[in-house]
């Protein structure tokens, strides 16, 4: 799946798509930094490798994860939480590279959330078949802060529901370079990702990488 960057000038595919009050997709917002972002992700994963964490119920997550920044999101038999160190190494998570911080802050600003300074970046790697079931993001302290989510590599279908688990979700295709900003009245909406279709992306290879930035502490 590709997108014609110039389509916007003539028809369809607006660069900014409101999903609901508080949630917006900024199409292609990360494209200009794609090479720099992927190089930074390689540095992060060299220091804190991707791993399949266990849910509190003992299931292995199909998405491989790592983190950068002062706080990292982790899950194991003890539950979901933020931790200042990588449980594999007991070392602090790698620092958040400036290119990531600047991108997240600029996207939040564009979406109407000034002064977003994330202290946590969860790095998700989806390979063919990996998925994320419907969930709310509620391990953060301050729900007035938005979440910024950057998609790189293979396309995926994001499912975006309501405030209750049973609210019927809409499907939102997310492509390489798309950024979703999510906060305010949308902050606690249920969401997830459908199983990734196999494929190969010219820069990222046979996977999708998602970065989600939060203010955790």
Binding site for Fe ion (CB under 5 A): 137
Find the binder of ligand MD6 among 71, 100, 149, 190 (CB under 6 A).
Answer: 149
Find the binder of ligand MD6 among 45, 67, 145, 210 (CB under 6 A).
Answer: 210
Which residue in 35, 25, 52, 39 sits closest to 155, CA to CA? Answer: 25
Using rule CB under 6 A, residue 140 touches ligand MD6: no
What is the nearest approach in angstroms of Fe ion to the Cβ of residue 132? 7
Residues 6+ apart with CB under 8 A from 161: 134, 167, 168, 169, 170, 189, 190, 191
Using rule CB under 6 A, residue 107 touches ligand MD6: no
Minimum CB distance to Fe ion smaller for 93 or for 190 = 190
Q: How many residues bind ligand MD6 (CB under 6 A)?
A: 12
Rg, the chain, Cα only: 16
Q: How many CB atoms lie within 10 A of CB 101?
A: 19
The helix/strand/coil state of 85 is strand
Q: Which does 40 bind (CB under 5 to 8 A by kind): ligand MD6, Fe ion, none?
A: none
Burial grade of 66 (CB within 10 A; 0-12, 13-18, 19 or more): buried
Using rule CB under 6 A, residue 187 touches ligand MD6: no
* Site residues (vs ligand MD6, CB under 6 A): 124, 132, 137, 147, 149, 158, 180, 182, 191, 193, 210, 212
């Amino acid at each position: 799946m590709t997108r014609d960057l110039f389509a916007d000038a003539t028809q369809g595919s607006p660069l900014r798509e409101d999903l609901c009050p508080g949630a917006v997709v900024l199409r292609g917002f990360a494209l200009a930094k794609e090479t720099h972002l992927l190089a930074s992700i390689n540095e992060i994963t060299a220091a804190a490798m991707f791993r399949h964490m266990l849910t509190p119920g003992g299931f292995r997550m199909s998405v491989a994860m790592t983190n950068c920044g002062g706080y990292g999101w982790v899950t194991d038999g003890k539950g979901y939480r933020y931790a200042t160190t990588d449980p594999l190494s007991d070392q602090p998570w790698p620092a958040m590279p400036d290119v990531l911080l600047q991108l997240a802050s600029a996207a939040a600003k564009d979406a109407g959330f000034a002064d977003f300074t994330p202290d946590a970046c969860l790095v998700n790697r989806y390979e063919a078949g990996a998925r994320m079931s419907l969930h709310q993001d509620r391990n953060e302290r301050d729900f007035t802060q938005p979440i910024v989510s950057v998609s790189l590599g293979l396309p995926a279908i994001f499912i975006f529901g309501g405030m209750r688990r049973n609210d019927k979700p809409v499907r939102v295709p997310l492509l390489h370079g798309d950024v979703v900003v999510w906060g305010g009245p949308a902050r606690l909406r249920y969401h997830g990702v459908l199983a990734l279709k196999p494929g190969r992306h010219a820069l990222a290879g046979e996977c999708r990488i998602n970065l989600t930035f939060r203010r955790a502490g």
